[in-house]
A and B are shown apart, each in its own frame.
Chain A
Amino acid sequence: MNLFAGLSQTDYQDLLRAVGALIDERGWRDIRIWEIEGGLAVQGRPGADTGYETLLLSDDDLRALLEEAYRRRGWPYRQSPG
């Protein structure tokens, strides 16, 4: 993931909160999250009797998620200079 490239500090707290909201919307449980090159891989189970579904969130997807989360809270979004 290159979302924080060029920034003096990371912002995992807000990012994972936004990803958590996405997971809550889908009603997933037993979730798994990995940072991969170019984004995040997120998996969760929609129900107890089902297998995992996967979301591959690119840096652009995550940026949009963060922007939306900040917009809802009325906060400015800090862009990566890179």
Chain B
Amino acid sequence: MRWLPFRRSTPARDLTGWTRHLRNIGAALDVMAPAIQNVAVSVTSSEARVSALAWHEGRRYTGWTPLDLQLSLATLQPPNGGGFWAARLMEVGLLLDRWPGPPRDPLVLAMPNGTLVTALLPAPAGGWRLVTRMVTDAELATLRSGKLR
């Protein structure tokens, strides 16, 4: 009998840094409503504030309704399955984790033509400087597949 080495299939919880934090924030969003759009995520040291529009179906009102969340990064869980926002925000996390720094206090703003990402990076002269980058959906997808440096 030949024993095969036990190999885990890169579990989501192995991610680190902003990739993990943002993926977990996205996972929390994915279970909130059947559809979510116009997501804005602002992260400070230990918590995230999320503003979005969530699809609401009710007897009195059906449509997009504002959703505001305050999430503690420490208590967020990895996704249970594949969700759109877990995947999208994980891609943004991959981008942030490639920035020199490491970056802190990022803001992620989903827009129709891409994602606006800002964060504080260490300034050469000391302190922190605000850096902003607009990334397209295609760039994020490429980043996820590991082709973008």
Contact = CB atoms under 8 A, between A and B. Distances in A.
Interface of A: 30, 32, 34-38, 41, 43, 45, 48-52, 54, 56
Contact of A49 (B38, B42, B64, B130): B64
A47 B54 CA distance: 15
A6 to B, nearest CB: 15
B105 to A, nearest CB: 11
B116 A52 contact: no
Contacts, number: 40
A32 B51 contact: yes
A35 B64 contact: no
A30 B53 CA distance: 10
Interface string B34-55: 0001101010000000010100
B107 interface: yes
Nearest to A56: B116
A36 B63 contact: no
Contacts of B102: none
4 tightest A-B CB contacts, nearest first: A37-B132, A52-B38, A36-B132, A36-B118
User: Which applies to chain A's interface (DSSP): helix, strand, loop or mixed?
Assistant: strand
A48 B56 CA distance: 12
Count chain B CB atoms within 10 A of each CB in A37, A52, A54 and give the residue with the most.
A52
Interface string B98-141: 00000000010101100010100000000001111000000000
Count chain B CB atoms within 10 A of each CB in A32, A36, A41, A50 and give the residue with the most.
A36
A16 to B, nearest CB: 18
A49 B63 contact: yes
Contacts of A49: 63-64
Count chain A CB atoms within 10 A of each CB in B37, B63, B130 and give the residue with the most.
B130
B123 to A, nearest CB: 12
Contact of A51 (B51, B53, B129): B53
13 contacts: A34-B40, A34-B42, A34-B107, A36-B107, A36-B116, A36-B130, A37-B130, A43-B40, A43-B109, A49-B64, A51-B37, A51-B53, A54-B111
